[in-house]
Amino acid sequence: MNFSNLVGSKAEVAPAPAAPAPAPVAAPAADVRPAVTQKVLASVARISAFPASTLKTSQTLVGELGFDSLMLVELDGDVGKAFPQLGGLPRELFSKTTTVGSVIDHVVKALEGGAAKPAAAEAPAAAAQGPVDRYLPTVVPAPLHSVSESVHAFRHPLLVTSDGLGLAERLVAALQAHGVAAVTGDATAGKELSGVIHLEALRAEGEANAPARRLLALAQGLDAEKAECFITVTGLGGRFGGGHRPVAE
């Protein structure tokens, strides 16, 4: 082998492979907690009627802010609208000890963890199960059945809330005629009552949330040890605020 052949052989040696390009560094995820906190507090303030400025994340929804089951459903709906990728809040999240902060922490954790609704590719499998029908009660005529009359002796008067239609006054007169002490009006602190016949909801129209809250407030105002009777009558047509036409009969 001469010198020229040696040089030619060295020139034909393959170059060393280039170093791989560095992997792109993902940008740090945006902090979603401030936005989540603002939206959850705004929803809690709207539903509970407490000013947002007075709310604390350590307050319990049920014990300190007076949330009932309907109000929790409203909160779930607000969170679902604000963060549709979550698909709502899990029922197991709500308990007597659930705080405003618990809801915020759950939403933040779900958003940061990428929790979302099933992908569109999975939709056909879910659709194969068929739609979920919603049923509402329907009012139908029914004959009245005569029952043997019996008068219960209450220890304290019954409160009949006014319906503005004159029915409360007629009912009180009928009860008094049968020896049952009854009065019309509203629950008053310190007044000893054996129960409530709530006719005020006969004037209720539209959604059922406000009448339900009023009913809950009346129930909470009674002495649990002395209450013997609690009856409510509504004018919602048996559909509980579900509209004039049922979705499925």
Query: What is the tens place of the pLDDT at every residue in 69-104?
Result: 888 888 988 998 888 888 788 888 888 889 999 999
Q: Where are the domains of the chain?
A: 33-119, 158-232
| Tokens (6 digits) for 91 | 């029922």
> How many residues does the structure list for the chain?
249
**pLDDT-based confidence at residue 12 (cuts at 50, 70, 90):** low
Of 116, 115, 89, 114, residue with least CA distance to 103 = 89
Of 226, 62, 85, residue with least CA distance to 156 = 226
Would you say 226 and 155 are in contact if contact means Cβ atoms under 8 Å apart?
Answer: yes
Residue 157's contacts (CB-CB under 8 Å, 6 or more residues apart) are: 181, 182, 183, 192, 193, 194
| Tokens (6 digits) for 85 | 């990728």
3-state secondary structure of 197: strand
Per residue in 138-188, pLDDT (tens digit) is 778 888 776 566 656 788 888 898 888 888 999 999 998 888 889 988 765
Per residue in 39-77, pLDDT (tens digit) is 999 999 999 888 888 899 999 998 889 898 888 888 988
Q: Which helix (H) or strand (E) holds 159?
A: strand 158-161
Backbone angles phi, psi at 226, to 5 degrees: -110, -20
Would you say 78 and 43 are in contact if contact means Cβ atoms under 8 Å apart?
Answer: yes
**179 conformational bin, left if phi > 0, alpha if psi -120 to 50, beta if neither:** left
CATH number attached to the domain at 33-119: 1.10.1200.10
